[in-house]
Structures are given as structure tokens and as C-alpha cells.
Chain A
């Protein structure tokens, strides 16, 4: 079955450590996205990528980094510069052809807790 996988589901890290969250899709989608979800704040866009080896900052990119070396993979690194990294992180993807009416498909999310 096609879909988006994120791993791990739960992640615990000590303050000051970098951590990388995995996102893989087998939908052959062009664009991929990372969102952060905090209670009562909805989803906020961290980074997105339209094609391999290219990505753009979203609304809250500070303290995060990404790479897009393969079409199907878009890992997110939460660096020690991110002041409040504890959150639920969601990866999504979509086709570009057809325009903004295309839905974004979401992975199951990774809950990161920084101790």
C-alpha cells in the first residue's frame, strides 16, 4: 500500500542534542512538508520541498534543518538551537500537477519529547 511512514513514533532526547526525524513516502509525490503541532495552535509549517535537492523555509524554520537527497525521503533535524522542541511532528506530501486543489497526505507523526 502507498503511504507515508514516519519513524520513530516516540522519541526522547536530552536537551542540547540534535535529533533527526525520518519521513519516507512511496506515493511518487513531488512535494514534501514538515509541520509542527502544539496543543491549541494547529499545525505550523517548518520546511517544504518541491524537488530533490531544493527546499524552502516555512513559517517556523529557526532551529530546524532538512535535506532532500531522494524524492521519497525528507528527513528533519531538530537542532539544539530550537528553543522549545517538544512537540508532535507531522510529515506530508502531495503531487504538484493539478495545482493547490490537491490534498496533502500525512504520515502518522513523531512525538518528540526533550528532557
Chain B
């Protein structure tokens, strides 16, 4: 079945540092890929997405490129802020069904300090 593997957290960075959170996936077919963010005590919000190979999703300074050859969708940001502290989830969407089902990674907690 489909699966998503994320790097273990927590990731602790100083403000303005460069961020990479690794995400690799296993899927049949051609899934869509997502990054969601969860702030403490809240639901998930979509951060960015890519629906086909070589697409780059971007939002709020975050970027991720859909790499089919390496089955990866790594999240990057050039300069993190304290307000970016949250849990980040990589997910893929089942391409074969009519109701898109998401498969999530285990999440990576990011802590940004001053």
C-alpha cells in the first residue's frame, strides 16, 4: 500500500536558519503530494501541494518539488521564523479512487528559537 516517510523530529533551529524536512513516499500510480502544517491544539492547514512530477509547490516562503525519480517531496524554507514553529505533515493522495484519501507521514515537529 501507499506510505509516506518523514524525517524524525523534533527539529530545532535558530531564527533565520535554513530548513529542510525530508519526505519520501511509496505509491502506485501518480499521486498528488501535500504538506500540511498543524499549530498547537489546532487542525491541519494546507501549506502547499504538487500534483505532477517536477511541479513545485510554494507558499509563505516554503517550497517543495515533486521528484518522481527519487520519490521525494522535501520541504524547504530559506529563513525560518519563530512563528513557523509547528508540526509539519507530508501526505499523498490516492490517485485511483474517486474519494481522494490521504496517507500521512508521522509528522515532524519544528521548534524555532530566537
Docked Cα-Cα span, A92 to B100, in Å, equals 11
Known: A43-B89, A108-B42. A103 touches B106 (CB 8 A): no
Residue from A56, A100, A107, A109 whose CB has the most chain B CB atoms within 10 Å: A100
**A50 contacts B43, C-beta separation under 8 Å:** no
- CB closest chain-B residue, reference A108: B43
Interface size in chain A (residues, C-beta < 8 A): 30
Contacting B51 at CB < 8 Å: which of A94, A101, A106?
Answer: A101
**A96 contacts B93, C-beta separation under 8 Å:** no
**B42 contacts A109, C-beta separation under 8 Å:** yes
* In the complex, A104 has a CB within 8 A of chain B: yes
Docked Cα-Cα span, A92 to B98, in Å, equals 16
Residue from B45, B89, B99 whose CB has the most chain A CB atoms within 10 Å: B99
Residues of A within 8 A of B101 (CB): 33, 45, 48, 58
Docked Cα-Cα span, A47 to B74, in Å, equals 29
Closest approach, in angstroms, between the C-beta of B11 and any C-beta of chain A? 15
Interface size in chain B (residues, C-beta < 8 A): 26
* In the complex, A2 has a CB within 8 A of chain B: no
* In the complex, A41 has a CB within 8 A of chain B: yes
Known: A42-B106, A42-B107, A43-B89. A100 touches B43 (CB 8 A): no
A-B residue pairs in contact (CB < 8 Å), sample of 29: A4-B43, A33-B101, A42-B89, A42-B104, A42-B105, A43-B44, A50-B98, A58-B101, A90-B43, A90-B44, A92-B44, A94-B100, A96-B99, A96-B100, A99-B95, A99-B100, A100-B32, A100-B95, A100-B97, A101-B32, A101-B51, A102-B100, A104-B46, A104-B102, A105-B46, A107-B43, A108-B43, A109-B42, A109-B43
